[in-house]
A and B are shown apart, each in its own frame.
Chain A
Amino acid sequence: MHGFKTIIRLSLRDYFHERLLSACAVMGLAAILAPLLILFGVKSGIINTMVDRLVKDPRNLEISPIGSGRYGQKWFATMAGFSEVLFVIPQTRSIASSMILSRKGSDRTHTLAVDLIPTDKGDPLLEKWARVPAENAEVVLSASAARKIKVVAGQTIMGRVGRSVKGVKEQVTIALKVVAVLPLAAFSRDAAFIRLTLLEATEDYRDGFGSVLFGWPGKKRLPGLRQYPGFRLYARSIYDLIALRDRLLAQGLEVYTRAEQIEVVQRLDRSFSLIFRLIAIVAVCGYLASMASNVLAGVNRKRRHLGVIRLIGFSTSSIVWFPVVQSVATSILGTALAAGLYGISALVINRLFARYLAAGEYVCRLSALHLAAALFVTLLLGIMAASYAAFRVTKIEPSTVIRDV
């Protein structure tokens, strides 16, 4: 044990004594490893940012029906039960789901016809960008709708629904509190997000029925199961999206998703990874060869010293560590230097692209785990490169080398 410790000590002293050569070996490793880290950092940074953007944007998780169908309560209950489904809510007939919004300004009243979109707790679009209306008389407006009627969150507007019964035009109004405004990035059309109860009441009103809840006049709607022509459906993740799309296709439904865009990113990721792997394999082979020759040359150069160490009486099993310790030192220092160079480069690259990036997004990014993996692989290669030299050390006969001058 003392012998082993002493050999480690000697090996490190020698490594330090030849610091110029050691520094060259360290820089040689960093010169190979730093570009690899930067390349991999850019690859994983770009792909992660793209995937993140896809994942973080609920619209990419949306599945919309093409055309209208007939979906009953039972279908919605089944859909809500699937593990892939994050959120599902019925959508009424598009022709009936509109409303005239108005707000009295200082000089004139602004009015605008908007699409009504049903929402409820768990709606990822509203939960990400705004908040979900808690009451029937609350509404979330899209950015364009809010801009056009000049309203901000917290104000109250009037909603008007009209119908014509036997040629007579009728209309009802409801005061709606704007609880939030969706940003433009989240939704581009003029739309108002309301609770399903209100949406169903407006549809009923257009059909000539009244609503007790909202105090709207009209025939009493016969109780019975509602059928909906459409739905708003969100998958839990981009992987669930593809599974869910296939499930709906199997049901014979035609749906629209952004799955293709996700698949493009996934394909891009695979191609990038392949290119990276090819470069890494070439680099690893080159490094292994240069490191092995380096360590071997060192051992040959120090034959006499190693012979003297054996002459003093250190065991074979401890002296084999002499080149290995130095190789490990090179691996650690070289990886540290490469990580430092990578860190500076990543900083520069991310600064350069800062204006295209949102907070928390990167063009160049490596996790601590990636760096730890790089260190592990370098250590492994270092030990492999030193193993033949270590074998040669065991073959040094003190009696043949100690008298060399």
Chain B
Amino acid sequence: MTDREKQQNHPGAGDITQDGGHRVFRLAAVVKCWNGAHGFELTVPDLVIQKGEKVALVGFSGCGKSTLLDLLAMILRPDSAAEFTFRAGQDASLDVTGAWKQKNIDGLAHARMRHIGYVLQTGGLLPFLRVQDNIALSCWGLGLPEKAAVESVAEKLGIGRHLKKFPGQLSVGERQRVAIARAMAHEPSVVIADEPTASLDPINAEEIMALFTELAEEKSVTLVVATHEWERVTALDFRPVTFDLKQDTGSGSVRAVVSG
């Protein structure tokens, strides 16, 4: 990238949208390849996620949803990118590609801790911490007071009575609520969720997804959710992002192109 291009990526006119909000993620020509017996290549030609948006990455398993989530969460290094910036709150926008190139892993980690919450498909809770401490993790890491934040978010998700328990004592659904609470307790700008309700029964799934969305709207958090349940997210007014899969008949490798 030339210096001029870099300058363009920094906060300025480019980041501010017409309606006064700003772009949280801007990705242009981002590519991630997986080598191996069946190669896989994910290409994101152009993806912009605005502040406060609710975005659903919709597709079958293996379509590249998780890869894109990990790229957005800055835990996966893109192989190439014309542009990949992240901007949260009042901070200057972060040149994610540049940080990866400079091996500034801790810089990316700090941005993640401060601005991003991540909900995994199953738990991902630390079994040796009580529910309240699992929820408080990011607050601890950031040195923020955690008590009120934990109690308020736990109350909203209906797990107030489980705070003293260990994750092992909870049902799958309750654990998923705790995972959502942990992703939101430190007031991040973005919450990324990977199939957050896929391991739940339909009734629980619906209830938890509704609560999650409601909470995100209330806190005006940008929500990026990967899911295969198209109906549920359209009903909740998510903007769908889809994956077009093409198999190369010669090599057998799969190319996925993101659009939306």
Cross-chain contact B128 with A17 (CB below 8 angstroms)? yes
Q: How far is the CB of A312 from chain B (nearest CB, A)?
A: 6
A18 interface residue, CB < 8 Å from B? Answer: yes
Interface string of B102-143 (1 = CB under 8 A from A): 000110011111101010111011111100010001101111
Which of the segments B12-20, B70-78, B147-155, B212-220 contacts the partner chain? B70-78
Q: Which chain B residue lies CB-closest to A317?
A: B106
A23 interface residue, CB < 8 Å from B? Answer: no
B66 interface residue, CB < 8 Å from A? Answer: yes
Write the residues of chain B forming the contact surface with A, with a CB cutoff of 8 angstroms.
66, 70, 73, 75-76, 105-106, 109-114, 116, 118, 120-122, 124-129, 133, 137-138, 140-143, 166, 194
Cross-chain contact B66 with A315 (CB below 8 angstroms)? no
- Among B106, B116, B121, B138, the residue within 8 A (CB) of A315 is B106
If A2-B143, A3-B141 touch, whether A314 touches B120 (CB-CB below 8 Å) is: no
Cross-chain contact A316 with B124 (CB below 8 angstroms)? no
Q: How far is the CB of A304 from chain B (nearest CB, A)?
A: 8
> DSSP majority for the A interface?
helix
Cross-chain contact A2 with B105 (CB below 8 angstroms)? no
A1 CA / B105 CA spacing, docked (Å)? 17
A-B contact count (CB 8 A): 81
Cross-chain contact A308 with B126 (CB below 8 angstroms)? yes
Interface string of A87-117 (1 = CB under 8 A from B): 0000000000000000000000000000000
- Among A6, A18, A315, A398, the residue within 8 A (CB) of B140 is A6
Cross-chain contact A312 with B128 (CB below 8 angstroms)? no
10 cross-chain pairs, A with B, having the tightest CB-CB distances, nearest first:
A313-B113, A17-B128, A2-B143, A313-B112, A315-B106, A14-B128, A6-B140, A399-B70, A398-B75, A399-B76
Q: Which chain B residue lies CB-closest to A304?
A: B124
CB-defined contacts of A399 to chain B, threshold 8 Å: 70, 75-76
Write the residues of chain A forming the contact surface with B, with a CB cutoff of 8 angstroms.
1-3, 5-6, 9-10, 13-14, 16-18, 304-305, 308-317, 397-399, 402-403, 405
A1 CA / B140 CA spacing, docked (Å)? 10
Cross-chain contact B113 with A13 (CB below 8 angstroms)? no
CB-defined contacts of A304 to chain B, threshold 8 Å: 124
A14 CA / B111 CA spacing, docked (Å)? 26
Q: Which chain B residue lies CB-closest to A13?
A: B128
